[in-house]
Structure 1
Amino acid sequence: MPIAATTKPVRTRLLAAGAAAVTMLALAGCDSQSGPATGLTPDADTRQVTVVGAGQVQGTPDTLTINASMEFLAPDATTAMNQTNERQQAVIDELIGLGIDRTDIATTEANLQPQFGPEDNTITAYRATNSINVKIRNLDQASDAIGLIVETGGNATRINSISYSIEDDSQLVRDARARAFEDAEDRAEQYAELAGMSLGKVISISEAAGTTPPIPMPVPRGAMEAAVPLEPGQQTVGFSVTVIWELS
């Protein structure tokens, strides 16, 4: 009989613990369904519309960048490098004399490569290259600058590319962004009207820039007697925006 007296309290404690566990699981189940407490996350039954708007504006480029190289081939590395460096330095000096600011001239490459024979794979010469980017802020100087580079560099000149750009496109970006949002809002209002509802508050906005990159234009190598014809054309700054609105 002492054994039966001891067993009853143990069973009572086990039942109490089981009830507590059930209570905790029930509470946990409630918490798991509460969801994140954020003001921008709509409820499951919130009606909404998601649209993508696009906006573009055009501007006239005001800056021209020239990438120009001097290249020499010589029997030894020292001669190839010296000839290339001397010719490029002469080009830089002439550009500064033309009125180009030294800070707008930047070296982009200094390269020396051995040249191998076609049969015995031995070094027959060395090719040295020195490249610079030249930013022309006064577009009236662009053709003269190209002609000067070719004239000073001679047959060692390699005009790799020229590209137009807009130095400060901040206002164009603002205008393109505004047009994109207005386009999205117009679309959303139309969908709301078609659904017999009205447009509510904005839930979220996300955007993607779509600036058209400068297009490099090659220029023929060698000496030139005629000026290089250059036209800046137009460049496009665009944005794509995705907006979600509530519907009511």
Structure 2
Amino acid sequence: MPIPAHAKTVRNSFIAAAVAALTVAGSTACDARSTAPAPGTDSRQVTVVGAGEVQGTPDTLTVNASMEFLGPDATAAMNQTDERQQAVIDGLVGLGIDRADIATTAADLQPQYGSNGTAIAAYRATNTVNVTIRDLAQASDAISLVVNTGGDAARINSIAYSIEDDSELVRDARARAFEDAKDRAGQYAELSGLSLGKVISIAESGGAPPPVPMQAPRAMEAAVPMEPGQQMVGFSVTVVWELT
């Protein structure tokens, strides 16, 4: 049946209105998406790195010492090495060092080949201990005892000073690092005409450095002069502040 002309006009008007409504809605949605700020874009921040250092006097000395013998066979080499090392250990205990502070760290036996490179000519045996000296007044005597008792078999591999409890030094260094970071951040805020807000993140690095080994001579007759000096504990910290 033919559709009246006025009905076509009403239907066309309705479709046009719907299309217009959809166009406006789509445009509004696009505008809303384009004008919404991305997360964090309104946040103004400053990131700085602060450093802090403090010094302390070492109160502990660790000595790494070996006894080394060359023998015609494995048993002879090991026996001589073990006997001489035991004499050293007994002497250190007699000096007043706690036996618990003497620890064997290596016991090694290696064949030594002759000039032809195939036949075993001898055996080299090594016994190594770490000695922790907590009374630094004993340090010189302890090292002399190791060398004099061990004789030509003695090897002083290294000595290293350390601070047994550096917790307070660590706290002081950490506090100095943070204050240094805060001072730097405050200066940047002032230069930019802003103020420091809340701390957003903190990341630290560093700490007490490992003891630095020092080489000692292999043979000595007189007392060894020993000076602990100073050790540094340092921290660096990266802090992010909000700027307001």
* Short-chain TM bin: 0.7 to 0.9
Q: 2:75 is aligned with what amino acid?
A: T
- Distance in 1, Cα, partners of 2:192 & 2:37: 30
How much has 1:218 moved relative to structure 2?
Answer: 1.1
Superimposed CA distance per residue, residues 152-189 of structure 1 (whole angstroms, 9 cap, x where no aligned partner): 11111001010000000000000000000000000000
> Who is 1:49 aligned against?
46
> Who is 2:224 aligned against?
228
Q: 2:104 is aligned with what amino acid?
A: T
- Distance in 1, Cα, partners of 2:135 & 2:192: 55
> Who is 1:152 aligned against?
149
> Who is 1:246 aligned against?
242
- Distance in 1, Cα, partners of 2:117 & 2:104: 35
1:183 maps to 2:180? yes
How much has 1:34 moved relative to structure 2?
Answer: 11
1:116 maps to 2:113? yes
- Output aligned runs, 1:37-76, within 5 Å: 43-76=40-73
1:170 maps to 2:185? no
> Who is 2:23 aligned against?
none
- Distance in 2, Cα, partners of 1:77 & 1:226: 34
> Who is 1:11 aligned against?
none
- Distance in 2, Cα, partners of 1:206 & 1:62: 30
How much has 1:89 moved relative to structure 2?
Answer: 0.6
The number of residues matched between the two structures is 211
Change (3 A) 1:133 1:34: farther
- Distance in 2, Cα, partners of 1:219 & 1:159: 6
1:139 maps to 2:140? no
- Distance in 2, Cα, partners of 1:121 & 1:143: 44
Deviates more, 1:42-51 or 1:82-91: 42-51
Q: 1:66 is aligned with what amino acid?
A: V
Look up the SS of the partner of 2:228 in the other structure. Answer: coil
Q: 1:143 is aligned with what amino acid?
A: S
How much has 1:70 moved relative to structure 2?
Answer: 0.3
Identity of aligned residues (%): 75
- Distance in 2, Cα, partners of 1:105 & 1:140: 17
> Who is 1:200 aligned against?
197
Contact 2:111 2:124 in 1 (8 A): yes
With the length of structure 1 as denominator, give the TM-score of the two structures: 0.82
- Distance in 1, Cα, partners of 2:117 & 2:75: 23
- Distance in 2, Cα, partners of 1:194 & 1:234: 39
- Distance in 2, Cα, partners of 1:104 & 1:167: 13
- Distance in 1, Cα, partners of 2:117 & 2:140: 45
> Who is 1:102 aligned against?
99
- Distance in 2, Cα, partners of 1:132 & 1:34: 66
The 4+ residue runs of structure 1 with deviation greater than 3 A are none
Over aligned residues, Cα RMSD in angstroms?
A: 1.7
How much has 1:213 moved relative to structure 2?
Answer: 2.2
With the length of structure 2 as denominator, give the TM-score of the two structures: 0.83
Q: 2:144 is aligned with what amino acid?
A: G
Contact 2:58 2:230 in 1 (8 A): yes
